[in-house]
A and B are shown apart, each in its own frame.
Chain A
Amino acid sequence: DIQMTQSPSSLSASVGDRVTMTCRASQSISSYVNWYQQKPGKAPKLLIYAASSLQSGVPSRFGGSGSGTDFTLTISSLQSEDFATYYCQQSYSTPLTFGGGTKVEIK
């Protein structure tokens, strides 16, 4: 099974900050990474698919990059509604697996 490791597990940031989080796969997975945002008590929401493609309706301040084993999700200017937990997921092979999440908290 492919393991997905996210870092950091949590971070504190202020509104307007540029925020970057990473996801590392245990083997090369090309660009088959997707990113989700989850707020407390809510279902996850797709932000980015295929490493860098923005899902329809998602603000352009969200961006994804990477290929192979290392991937990055960047929020260019953090907004109050962005405080949430972010998960990466590999879709290269089954079983599909998720990272442990990065929780973005208010500084």
Chain B
Amino acid sequence: QLVQSGAEVKKPGASVKVSCEAAGYTFTNYGITWVRQAPGQGLEWMGWISANSGNTNYPRELRGRVTMTTDTSTSTAYMELRSLRSDDTAVYYCARYEIRGVMSYWGQGTLVTVSS
């Protein structure tokens, strides 16, 4: 089970940090990936982090604006997105990341609204 933090409203230029707490499995045996979905749109992959090593992989478009971290003591993953723009308004999902990029279990989603 993955439980995410609550909805956020941010102004353009601000940062947001979303959390994803894992339960029911050994956190360090898997990675965590983040996917976002703008209103009425499809799914966009934002990157992944190994919960064991902390290694990350981000897509080119978000590199420099996104940082993913984990806290193994609390089995929690975090995704921070900086320099927010209106087109960052979306539901942000975390998912358990398995071998060869399979996203097996998903959090409930966190709505981030960017508006002045």
Contact = CB atoms under 8 A, between A and B. Distances in A.
Interface of A: 32, 34, 36, 43-46, 49-50, 55, 87, 89-92, 94-101
A98 B35 CA distance: 10
Contacts of B59: 94-95
Contacts, number: 58
Contacts of A34: 101-103
Interface of B: 33, 35, 42-45, 57, 59-60, 93, 95, 100-109
A91 B43 contact: no
Given A32-B100, A34-B102, A95-B59, A87 B42 contact: yes
Given A43-B93, A96-B45, 13 more contacts: A34-B101, A34-B103, A43-B106, A44-B35, A44-B106, A50-B100, A55-B104, A87-B42, A87-B43, A91-B100, A91-B102, A92-B101, A95-B45
